């Protein structure tokens, strides 16, 4: 009887907390159905990702999986005893020594996991906060499991039939249940749901929040949900290139401190967060990629950027780039008529007049940066040699990718509309691009009026290369995955397949594919006037030079950043665009 | 009559006055006109104005305030009807125009007036029968002549100028660490080189010179104002001026009277190349460190 | 009340077509110093509560392009926007034509000089027509009761501080703080909710007898090569020059 009363009290605490969370989410923008599209797929993902602990294992958090799996088994067990048992029912099979054995084995696994967790906290791990609630939780888990093994009827259990033990165990359980919901461990409930509400791709929809969000009712519920599912584990901080180079920007603090405080204490998010650090982010998505709770930090950061941009708080270099893109269609502030001066003598097809299968959308850096113009010319000749039917669009403008990432949503919309108008008048079937930033932005145009078939050039020329006469290259190279090809669009393999075709020896850096370390150009990084002394590109080139002599890139901004970094660090490393290797292999000269 | 307005700041006649006097003298000798120099101020040393035929001196403590000069000049022009009035194209000079016909930013004049506009991209030739010419600094070599010249004194009160503008004070820039206007070698830092100011300072050190900067770099607070080169900064006359990432806008070039200019800029059409002996079209951030290395060895 | 004048001038980045009798820009933009004048006016509004009008001046080609700058001014805080079409004429005639409508302002701000000015300085001429004081090269403005306290940039980095009475015309070089960035979404809102009133002014036309030329070819010697080669050659030249 007492137990039912205590259970009722505990459950009401939990329900009240859930109700609070629900009210908070209701205050936010958006409908729950926003993240319920494709429900069958979501449910599948929910089960598979949660049960296999996919992300946790990938980031090396085996101990967490141990504890999690144990939790599932224990949860099943507790449905029976003490819950049903206290009402006079019981599920036979869950009382058998056999089941108890299974539970005990999982219990041991949990204890191993907890031991590792204890050890980590004692040793100290970067960005792992040693909070009281973490210690309490670990102690609670340990005691609950130990007590359950003591009372277990399995061959390895102690079969203790003590009422005191039962009460101790049950009280600890009830306390744990309530404690979970009032601490960071509410992620136990919310993180699995976070998986259910995950994003299917990283194309940002049009949401009409031009001036961003700072109050609770301005954020979308999924953005606030991040705060509930965050476990304060610090993995995001650990992979953040800004933090690695001396910034104060902490993705973890944005979610766990700022967003959480906003959710429970209301006000404005900047009451809990410094505005200036928002500009340090490169929007590289490393934090979002690594997060085992499927949090989407970058969506929040974009809202914050929109807000402070609307207040006029913006780095001067970024401001200059925005004004230039608006007036001249390129971030360099160079005349729009000179965009294709690099291609004048190459004789290109003008898709406004003549049809071409592919429109090659070239991009600012490839058109105006003197170093990259050379590579653009090579690419042009490579495409011609491979027999690709392509043309250029003379009134091409900056596709707008970084406008969005720095928070100039209104200008992005304007430019997208202008570009779509130009594109609709042109004669082509598909778009091909050599610039990952452009690649991503063009894909987002589907939310702004028109969906185009867009490819990165590696996705198109592979088959053509297979049938071409190639000279094998005898180099030892490593490949850097660009953020906008890799994490944003999940294209990791095509460039590697091409490298394999070319015959080079590809040695991977430790941080490859979705763990790639951003070069620091994104999110306006390459435009900023105020710079920190150390840059992520410096760290990256040092990493590359440890495994190979040649660093292959597939993005013009990577090329520029790494070229500068190699000089700054005084390394022997050669920075080479994939196109240059392809050109060499096809014996195409400048 | 060719009238020359003598620009006075803190009781001292500025260099530009003597530059203008050279040209005025040259023209006047040719057209057989009178060169009349107008000086407004207090306790001004007229010693070197010998190139003038006559000096009109309005001496009054109140005329330390250059804001009143516009009105005084108006009265004087009314009284003496000069054909041409020559004034320096400076902050003080530009305030004097009033309603007179005026050509701005002139670099030469004979039968026709030659001036520059459109940010240095257009050169203009025009005719001015009567009016004011604002002459750019550095257009002519200064002509200081120590000679006794007839001085006609006018009284401010008699001229009847009654304007309620007060000069409260003149603020000096921070204590000068270095006087770049006296340096033999100057390394100039422009917008294109503002990320490598430390490298520029190293370069200056190795060359035994000083670092100066263009206006945008100073405005951002990257270097003290005492280092500003240009119309509203200092005029430098070094043996060598190394212009790094400087576009060469009119405003800046007016402060540069170097024997030799070497410029590095990304833009091959940058106006700085117009006054350079040697030019490099390239990235300062790339080239200067390499240059420094070479000079060290 | 403050009136700010913003002029449409050639966009030098996009380039100019220069022939003997005329200069044809490819595009127009707002005169940079006039934009600083707008910002300075907004600063004064924030500090002292003035009402601010902005008046755009543009020739026929630039008449629609000036709208952007005027709407941006409103987005920055200006209260009303007007625009006037300017024929081919001189600053002297413009100043004369503007004098009537500018009479009502206590303070008129504009850029000290426009990049395409070469005959007369509009800022100074307006003051002359209205018979009020003019201070140019202004970098800061404060109000003290009835008086204006104006900071004027002089040569050699010196700054003159002047006290004068309203009404006056100030030629601005730069504002006390850089113009704040206006995100495009804000601009679009302003475009929807505000109107630019057109003022019909009959301004006398005048053609000047001038010839235009491209700048002379530079006599500079360009050093070419790779960065290393350039550094090598430069080092050699420098060594020769300083010994």
Summarize pLDDT for A274-288 with one digit per residue, the tens. Answer: 998 999 999 999 999
Pair A557, A411 in one domain? no
Provide the number of structural domains found in chain A.
4
Task: Give me the domain span that covers residue A426.
Answer: 335-461
C97 has pLDDT over 90: yes
pLDDT in tens, A129-153: 888 989 999 999 999 999 989 888 8
ipTM value: 0.88
Give the residue with greater pLDDT, A532 vs B109. B109
Pair A20, A53 in one domain? yes
Residues of chain B found within 8 Å of residue C134, distances taken between Cβ atoms: 70, 95
Q: pLDDT band for position A184 (50/70/90)?
A: confident
Asked if residue A358 belongs to a domain, the reply is: yes
Which chains does C contact via 3+ CB–CB distances below 8 A? A, B
Which chains does A contact via 3+ CB–CB distances below 8 A? B, C
In the predicted model, what is the mean pLDDT of residues A256-277? Answer: 94
CA–CA dist A289, A302 (Å, integer): 16
Q: How many CB pairs under 8 A join A and C?
A: 53
Contact C146, C134 (CB under 8 A): no
**A309 inside 8 A of chain C by CB:** yes
Report the share of chain B in percent with pLDDT over 70.
Answer: 99
Q: Which CATH superfamily is domain C2-213 in?
A: HUPs (3.40.50.620)
**Domain ends where: A310, A327, A346?**
A310
Sign of the torsion formed by the C-alpha atoms of B130, B133, B139 and B141: positive
**C145 inside 8 A of chain B by CB:** no
Q: What is the residue-averaged pLDDT of chain B? A: 89
Residues of chain B found within 8 Å of residue C229, distances taken between Cβ atoms: none
Contact A341, A368 (CB under 8 A): no
Q: pLDDT band for position A60 (50/70/90)?
A: confident
Cβ separation of B122 and C158 shorter than 8 Å? Answer: no
Residues of chain C found within 8 Å of residue B70, distances taken between Cβ atoms: 134
DSSP strands (E only) in B147-295: 150-154, 165-171, 185-189, 210-213, 240-244, 260-265, 278-281
Which of A210, A319, A335 shows the shortest C-beta gap to C181?
A: A319
Pair A450, A497 in one domain? no
Domain of residue A486, CATH code: 3.40.50
CA distance C82 to chain B (A): 25
CA distance C127 to chain A (A): 33
Cβ separation of B195 and A567 shorter than 8 Å? Answer: no
Neighbours of A441 (CB within 10 A): 30
Residues of chain C found within 8 Å of residue A319, distances taken between Cβ atoms: 181
pLDDT in tens, B170-198: 987 665 677 888 788 999 999 888 888 99
Residues of chain C found within 8 Å of residue B98, distances taken between Cβ atoms: 124, 128
Pair A514, A527 in one domain? yes
What pLDDT is stored for residue C243 in this prediction?
A: 67
Helix (H), strand (E) counts: chain B:
8, 17
Pair A13, A147 in one domain? yes
CA distance A19 to chain C (A): 36
Q: pLDDT band for position B221 (50/70/90)?
A: confident
What size, in residues, is chain A?
Answer: 590
| Tokens 């009026």 belong to residue | A449
Pair A444, A474 in one domain? no
**Domain ends where: A260, A294, A310?**
A310
B138 has pLDDT over 80: no
3 state SS for A395-422:
CCCCCCHHHHHCCCHHHHHHHHHHHHHH
What pLDDT is stored for residue B247 in this prediction?
A: 86
Pair A440, A475 in one domain? no
3 state SS for A260-296:
HHHHHHCCEHHHCCCCHHHHHCCCCCHHHHHCCCCCC
Which of C29, C178, C183 shows the shortest C-beta gap to A410?
A: C183
Paired sense of beta strands A356-361 and A428-433, if any: parallel
Pair A457, A488 in one domain? no
CA–CA dist A251, A243 (Å, integer): 9
Q: List C24's β-bridge partners, or say none.
A: C17
pLDDT in tens, A337-379: 899 999 999 999 999 999 999 999 999 999 998 789 999 999 9
Pair A427, A363 in one domain? yes
Domain ranges for chain C: 2-213
pLDDT in tens, C164-206: 999 999 999 999 988 989 999 999 999 999 999 999 998 989 9
Pair A6, A143 in one domain? yes
Pair A355, A481 in one domain? no
A370 sits in the region (left: phi over 0; alpha: psi -120 to 50; else beta) called alpha
Asked if residue A24 belongs to a domain, the reply is: yes
Domains detected in chain B: 2-159 (3.40.50.620), 180-296 (3.40.50.1220)
Q: pLDDT band for position A456 (50/70/90)?
A: very high
CA distance C188 to chain A (A): 8
Cβ separation of C183 and A411 shorter than 8 Å? Answer: yes
**A80 inside 8 A of chain C by CB:** no
Asked if residue A323 belongs to a domain, the reply is: no
Q: List C17's β-bridge partners, or say none.
A: C24
Taking CA atoms, C27 is separated from A328, C22, C23, in Å, by 10, 15, 12
Q: What is the pTM of this model?
A: 0.87
Sign of the torsion formed by the C-alpha atoms of B195, B199, B203 and B204: positive
CA–CA dist A104, A327 (Å, integer): 69
Which of B11-20, B109-118, B153-162, C114-123 is least confident? B153-162
Q: How many CB pairs under 8 A join B and C?
A: 225
Paired sense of beta strands C80-85 and C196-198, if any: parallel
């Amino acid at each position: 009887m007492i137990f039912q009363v205590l259970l009722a009290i505990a459950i009401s605490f939990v329900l009240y907390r859930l109700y609070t969370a629900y009210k908070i989410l209701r205050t936010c923008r958006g409908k729950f159905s926003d993240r319920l599209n494709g429900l069958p797929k979501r449910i599948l993902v929910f089960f598979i990702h949660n049960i296999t602990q996919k992300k946790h294992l990938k980031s090396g958090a085996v101990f967490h999986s141990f504890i999690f799996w144990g939790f599932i088994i224990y949860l099943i067990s507790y449905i029976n005893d003490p819950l049903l048992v206290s009402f006079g029912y019981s599920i036979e099979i869950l009382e058998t020594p056999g089941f108890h054995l299974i539970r005990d084995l999982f219990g041991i696994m949990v204890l191993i996991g907890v031991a590792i967790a204890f050890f980590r906290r004692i040793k100290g791990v970067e960005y792992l906060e040693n909070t009281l609630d973490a210690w309490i939780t670990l102690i609670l888990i340990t005691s609950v499991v130990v007590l359950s093994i003591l009372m277990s009827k399995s061959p390895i259990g102690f079969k203790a039939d003590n009422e005191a033990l039962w009460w101790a165990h049950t009280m600890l359980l009830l306390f744990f249940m309530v404690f979970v919901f009032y601490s960071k461990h509410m992620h136990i409930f919310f993180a699995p749901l976070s998986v259910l509400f995950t994003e299917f791709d990283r194309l940002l929809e049009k949401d009409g929040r031009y001036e961003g969000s700072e109050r609770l009712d301005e954020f979308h519920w999924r953005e606030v949900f991040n705060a509930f599912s965050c476990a304060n584990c610090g993995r995001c901080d650990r992979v953040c290139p800004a933090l690695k180079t001396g910034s104060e920007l902490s993705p973890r603090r944005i979610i766990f401190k700022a967003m959480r405080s906003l959710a429970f204490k209301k006000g404005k998010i900047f009451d809990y967060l410094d505005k200036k650090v928002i500009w340090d982010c490169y929007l590289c998505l490393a934090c979002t990629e690594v997060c085992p709770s499927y949090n989407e930090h970058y969506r929040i950061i974009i809202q914050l950027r929109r807000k402070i941009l609307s207040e006029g708080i913006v780095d001067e270099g970024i401001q200059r780039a925005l004004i230039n893109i608006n007036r001249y269609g390129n971030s360099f502030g160079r005349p729009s008529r000179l965009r294709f001066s690099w291609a004048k003598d190459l004789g290109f097809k003008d898709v406004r007049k003549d049809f071409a299968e592919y429109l090659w959308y070239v991009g600012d850096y490839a058109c105006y940066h003197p170093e990259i113009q050379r590579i653009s010319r090579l690419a042009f000749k490579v495409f011609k040699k491979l027999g690709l039917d392509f043309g250029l669009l003379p009134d091409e403008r900056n596709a707008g990718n970084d406008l969005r990432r720095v928070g100039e949503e209104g200008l992005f919309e304007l430019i997208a509309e202008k570009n779509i108008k130009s594109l609709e008048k042109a004669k082509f079937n598909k778009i091909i691009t050599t610039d990952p930033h452009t690649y991503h932005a063009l894909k987002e145009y589907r939310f702004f009026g028109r969906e185009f078939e867009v490819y990165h050039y590696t996705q198109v020329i592979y088959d053509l290369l297979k049938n071409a006469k190639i000279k094998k290259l005898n180099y030892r190279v490593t490949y850097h995955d660009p953020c906008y090809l890799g994490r944003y669009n999940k294209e990791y393999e095509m460039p590697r397949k091409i490298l394999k075709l070319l015959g080079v020896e590809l040695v991977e850096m430790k941080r490859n594919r979705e763990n790639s370390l951003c070069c620091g150009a994104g999110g306006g990084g390459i435009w900023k006037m105020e710079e920190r002394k150390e840059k992520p590109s410096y760290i990256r080139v040092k990493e590359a030079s440890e495994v190979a002599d040649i660093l292959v890139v597939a993005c013009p901004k990577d090329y520029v950043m790494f070229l500068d970094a190699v000089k700054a660090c005084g390394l022997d490393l050669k920075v080479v665009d994939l196109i240059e290797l392809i050109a060499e292999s096809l014996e195409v000269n400048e | 009559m060719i009238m020359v307005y003598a620009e006075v700041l803190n009781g001292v006649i500025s260099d530009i006055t003597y530059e203008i006097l050279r040209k005025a003298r040259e023209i006047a000798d040719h057209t057989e006109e009178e060169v009349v120099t107008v000086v407004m101020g207090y306790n001004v040393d007229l010693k070197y104005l010998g190139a003038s035929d006559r000096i009109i001196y309005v001496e009054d403590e109140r005329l330390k305030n250059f804001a009143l000069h516009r009105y005084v000049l108006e009265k004087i022009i009314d009284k003496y009807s000069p054909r041409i009035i020559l004034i320096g194209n400076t902050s003080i000079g530009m305030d004097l125009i009033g309603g007179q016909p005026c050509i701005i930013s002139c670099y030469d004049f004979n039968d026709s007036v030659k001036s520059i506009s459109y940010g240095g991209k257009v050169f203009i030739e025009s005719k001015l029968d009567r009016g004011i010419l604002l002459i750019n600094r550095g257009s002519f070599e200064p002509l200081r002549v120590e000679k006794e010249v007839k001085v006609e004194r006018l009284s401010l009160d008699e001229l009847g100028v009654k304007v309620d503008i007060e000069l409260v004070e003149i603020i000096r820039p921070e204590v000068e660490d270095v006087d770049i206007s006296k340096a033999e070698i100057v390394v100039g830092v422009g917008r294109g080189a503002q990320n490598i100011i430390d490298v520029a300072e190293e370069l200056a050190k190795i060359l035994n010179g000083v670092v100066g900067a263009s206006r945008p770099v100073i405005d951002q607070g990257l270097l003290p104002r005492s280092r500003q080169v240009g119309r509203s900064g200092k005029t430098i006359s070094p043996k060598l001026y190394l212009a790094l990432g400087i576009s060469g806008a009119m405003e800046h070039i007016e402060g540069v009277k170097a024997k030799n200019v070497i410029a590095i800029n990304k833009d091959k059409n940058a106006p700085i190349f117009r006054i350079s002996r040697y030019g490099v079209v390239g990235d300062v951030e790339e080239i200067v460190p390499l240059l420094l290395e070479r000079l060290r060895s | 009340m403050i009136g700010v004048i913003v002029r449409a001038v050639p966009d030098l980045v996009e380039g100019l077509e220069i022939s003997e009798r005329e200069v044809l820009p490819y595009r127009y933009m707002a005169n940079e110093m006039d934009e600083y004048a707008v910002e300075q006016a907004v600063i004064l509004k924030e500090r002292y509560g003035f009402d601010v009008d902005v008046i755009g001046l543009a020739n026929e080609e630039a008449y629609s392009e000036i709208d952007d700058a005027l709407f941006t001014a409103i987005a920055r805080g200006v209260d009303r926007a007007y625009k006037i079409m300017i024929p081919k004429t001189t600053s002297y005639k413009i100043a004369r034509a503007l004098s009537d409508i500018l009479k009502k302002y206590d303070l008129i701000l504009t850029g000290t000089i426009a990049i395409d000015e070469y005959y007369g300085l509009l800022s100074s001429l307006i003051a002359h027509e209205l018979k009020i004081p003019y201070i140019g090269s202004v970098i800061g403005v404060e109000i003290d009761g009835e008086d204006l306290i104006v900071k004027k940039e002089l040569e050699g980095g010196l700054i003159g501080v002047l006290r004068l009475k309203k009404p006056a015309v100030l030629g601005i070089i730069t504002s006390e703080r850089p113009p704040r960035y206006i995100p495009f979404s804000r601009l679009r809102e302003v475009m929807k909710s505000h109107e630019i009133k057109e003022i019909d002014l009959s301004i006398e036309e005048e053609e000047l007898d001038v010839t235009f030329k491209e700048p002379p070819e530079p006599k500079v010697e360009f050093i070419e090569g790779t960065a290393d080669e350039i550094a090598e050659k430069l080092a050699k030249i420098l060594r020769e020059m300083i010994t």
